[in-house]
Structure 1
Amino acid sequence: MRVSNRLALFNIVATLAYLGLAILGGGGFSAFFSHPPLVFLTIVFLIMSGVGLFSRGNLSSVEREDRGNRWVLPVFALIGVLSAWLPAYADRIGILTFGGDTMRWLGVILFVIGGVLRLWPVFILGLRFSGLVVIQPGHSLVTGGMYGVIRHPSYLGMMINAVGWALAFRSGVGVMLAVLLLVPLIARIRAEEALLHSQFGAEYDAYCARTARLIPGLY
């Protein structure tokens, strides 16, 4: 429970900091919330963050961990800070922006889709969902449902979520940051798959042979 409480506190602080940076970049509360799509984006963001508090995801390293992959965590954090502030700032001053409110609403829709796809696997995996690349006691493969089609649905959700956030601000800079997210994300995927292969061997190889990493037919 102590770990869960710390994780919940971190979630709350990170959520408020992320929104705070966006509002700051957007020119303050009045300017930011003068756009109805951004009002809705904020509401959805807060709801999803609240829902995430009820998941059983964790940061425990438990039985075995690929510690060499921890470098992606500060990279994710840095890209996250830039993504929070820079798209809103670029939107406010009109640098590399495109489209109008239709583009903003498209971004909000993608943000919702990505958020659901990001959170759903966390609840499916429960305690097996870790912020670290780990093998836990009694670890077993989940190969049904969405995991029967793609192996990393939560990461696909993260990408869709990031693109949606960028488009909500009509931000070309935000889209570039979302693309940059692929670098640590692919490194994370490869580390996870190597660790799972070392644990489950032929069973995991057979699973990989019938599924895609992120997008069926592409990757």
Structure 2
Amino acid sequence: MTENITIFTWVTVCCWVLFCSYWLLLRNKTLKNIQGRTARQRYLGTLGYVLIFTLLYLPLFVHGGFAGRIIPAHYLLQGIGALICMAGVGVCIWSRTILGRNWSGGVTAKQGHELIVEGPYRLVRHPIYSGFLTALAGTCLVTGGLAAIIVTCIYTLALCLKINDEEVLLRDVFPGTYEIYQQQTRKLIPFIW
């Protein structure tokens, strides 16, 4: 087991601890939701993150099968993965900082909601998601597990559905303005999509 845990593994763990700590620090520093999240929604959100992180790091503790490593534990791949994870978490934190009090864990409008179009929001409409998916992909390169890759793919699909819901909400909250913003920026990947 310990031979699977490299410096690159620790780099990704530190990145995710930083990510989670920053989100916890700012969780109550947001504008009031117009429609609050239910206890069930909060519980399922937390459970989702526990599941994601468990499956990301499972190959370090379980060998073979669904949990086993399918990406070789090569130092170059792991180093690239750690750098990608660091970049992704950095984008998440930068984006969350710029979004400020307008952030919400669910798809909901805020009282006094503002449309943020600066910083990373000049390039993509959902940079927190872009950064999170980037960090997940980097972590997959480091841990190399089939389960990690599958959960990352499933999470990406679920996130695309959430983005569609968010964009409908934002078009309603910022009629006309959000459509112009959509035409000027990409959804998740700068200059591409």
The TM-score bracket by the shorter chain reads 0.7 to 0.9
Report what 1:158 is aligned to: 132
How much has 1:116 moved relative to structure 2?
0.7
Q: Equivalent residues in 2 for 1:117-136 (5 A)? A: 117-136=91-110
The match for 2:60 among 67, 82, 88 is 88
Does the 8 Å contact 1:37/1:104 carry over to 2?
A: yes
Q: Equivalent residues in 2 for 1:137-156 (5 A)? A: 137-156=111-130
How much has 1:49 moved relative to structure 2?
3.4
Q: Sort the Cα spacing of 1:113 and 1:104 in 2 relative to 1 into closer, same or farther, 3 A.
A: same
How much has 1:40 moved relative to structure 2?
2.9
Report what 1:42 is aligned to: 13
Distance in 2 separating the partners of 1:216 and 1:74 = 29
Over the residues paired in the alignment, what is the CA RMSD in angstroms?
A: 2.9
Report what 2:45 is aligned to: 73
Report what 2:158 is aligned to: 184
Q: Sort the Cα spacing of 1:39 and 1:75 in 2 relative to 1 into closer, same or farther, 3 A.
A: closer
- What TM-score, normalized to structure 2? 0.80
Q: Which amino acid aligns with 2:52?
A: G
How much has 1:134 moved relative to structure 2?
1.2
Q: Identity over aligned residues, as a percent?
A: 21
SS at match of 1:181: helix
Q: Sort the Cα spacing of 1:51 and 1:61 in 2 relative to 1 into closer, same or farther, 3 A.
A: closer
Deviation per residue, 1:43-74 (Å, 9 max, x gap): 3333443344443566886214698xx59837
Distance in 1 separating the partners of 2:47 and 2:159 = 10
SS at match of 1:183: helix
Taking CA–CA contacts closer than 8 Å with sequence separation of 6 or more, which of the two structures ends up with the larger relative contact order? 2
Q: Sort the Cα spacing of 1:160 and 1:187 in 2 relative to 1 into closer, same or farther, 3 A.
A: same
Does the 8 Å contact 1:117/1:153 carry over to 2?
A: yes
Q: Sort the Cα spacing of 1:57 and 1:121 in 2 relative to 1 into closer, same or farther, 3 A.
A: farther
Q: Sort the Cα spacing of 1:183 and 1:101 in 2 relative to 1 into closer, same or farther, 3 A.
A: same
Does the 8 Å contact 2:98/2:119 carry over to 1?
A: no
Q: Sort the Cα spacing of 1:214 and 1:172 in 2 relative to 1 into closer, same or farther, 3 A.
A: same
Does the 8 Å contact 2:71/2:141 carry over to 1?
A: no
Q: Which amino acid aligns with 1:80?
A: I
Report what 2:172 is aligned to: 198
Does the 8 Å contact 1:148/1:211 carry over to 2?
A: yes
Distance in 2 separating the partners of 1:39 and 1:145 = 29
